[in-house]
Amino acid sequence: MKKSVFSMVFVAALAAPVAMADTIAGLYIGADLHFADAKGGFGQTGNQQNFSFEDENLSSFYIKVEHPVPLLPNIKLQRNSVSSNGNTTLNRTFEFDDQIFAVGTNVAQDVDLSNIDATFYYEILDNDLVSLDLGVTAKYIDGDISVATEGRNATQDLSAVIPMGYLYGSFGLLGTGTKIFAEVNYVSYDGSSLSDMQFGIAYELIDSLAVDLSLKAGVKKTKLKLDDIDDIDADLTFDGAFISAELHF
């Protein structure tokens, strides 16, 4: 009996800080895998060419902290892999990085516009039925685009910080542990537009005092239309299904 009472006290002592931490602040860690169909084109300003890209498995990793402090926004940091390559036979003369590639030339192209999002947001609604978050995202793109033939390689670097609007909404199906959700980052200005959108279903597989585990699946679309950003024009789309997992401590 004494051992049983001691065990109950010990478990309660461990559980209390976890429960209190969850009430005071929530920590979320997640990862996505995006099965993307890549398509589009790029070029130096005013000289854009369409290319044939390979399908890619792209990844995202994020950490999110939510808290009850008034006026102080919650924060989400996310690293997004956005890249693809392929081979294309040029249908017209193409100039890139001050090098000229003749029409009919077969080139290998490589695009890497991976980026980091810093999102600051407020929970407008937060209950078992409906959730709504609104905020802003600073997207930091630090990548490069290259075109190569045998013996020649032309590469253009691209680096920019782009502010975007942020929205997350979900609708819970009571008693099922399932939510329908949408998450959107979007901006349009000066001929450029960028968007990250995903829509899907989340299922809470584990719901405990120590940790929650949710699995998600749906469709995801990343679109980058760039107009004279670091002397680059681009219109690229990465579109397809995704799966993800999220831990909540």
Evaluate whether 27 touches 249 at the Cβ level (below 8 Å). yes
Residue 85: in which H helix or E strand, if any? strand 83-89
Q: Is residue 15 part of a domain?
A: no
Domain count, the chain: 1
Tokens matching residue 221: 């679309």
Q: Is residue 3 part of a domain?
A: no
Residue 19: in which H helix or E strand, if any? helix 2-24
Q: Is residue 107 part of a domain?
A: yes
Tokens matching residue 139: 């997207």
Evaluate whether 91 touches 83 at the Cβ level (below 8 Å). no
| Tally of CB atoms within 10 A around 242 | 22
Q: Is residue 8 part of a domain?
A: no
Residue 33 CB partners (closer than 8 Å, separation 6+) = 57, 58, 59, 242, 243, 244
| Cα gap 190→117, rounded to integer Å | 21
Q: Is residue 19 part of a domain?
A: no
Q: Is residue 6 part of a domain?
A: no
Residue 7 CB partners (closer than 8 Å, separation 6+) = none
> What is the per-residue pLDDT for 83?
97
Please name which of 117, 112, 111, 84 lies closest in space to residue 185, comparing C-alpha atoms.
117
| Cα gap 108→131, rounded to integer Å | 45
Q: Residue 40 carries which side chain, given as an amino acid letter?
A: G
Tokens matching residue 164: 């975007």
Q: Is residue 185 part of a domain?
A: yes
Domain hosting residue 128, numbered range: 27-248
Q: Residue 218 carries which side chain, given as an amino acid letter?
A: G
> What is the per-residue pLDDT for 24?
57
Q: Is residue 35 part of a domain?
A: yes
The CATH number for 85's domain is 2.40.128
pTM: 0.87
Walk along the chain (249 residues) and give the pLDDT tens digit of each residue.
333 333 333 333 333 333 333 445 799 999 999 999 999 999 988 789 999 999 999 999 999 999 999 899 999 999 999 999 999 999 999 999 999 999 999 999 999 999 999 999 999 999 889 999 999 999 999 999 999 998 899 999 999 999 999 999 999 998 899 999 999 999 999 999 999 999 999 999 999 988 999 999 999 999 999 999 999 999 999 999 999 999 999
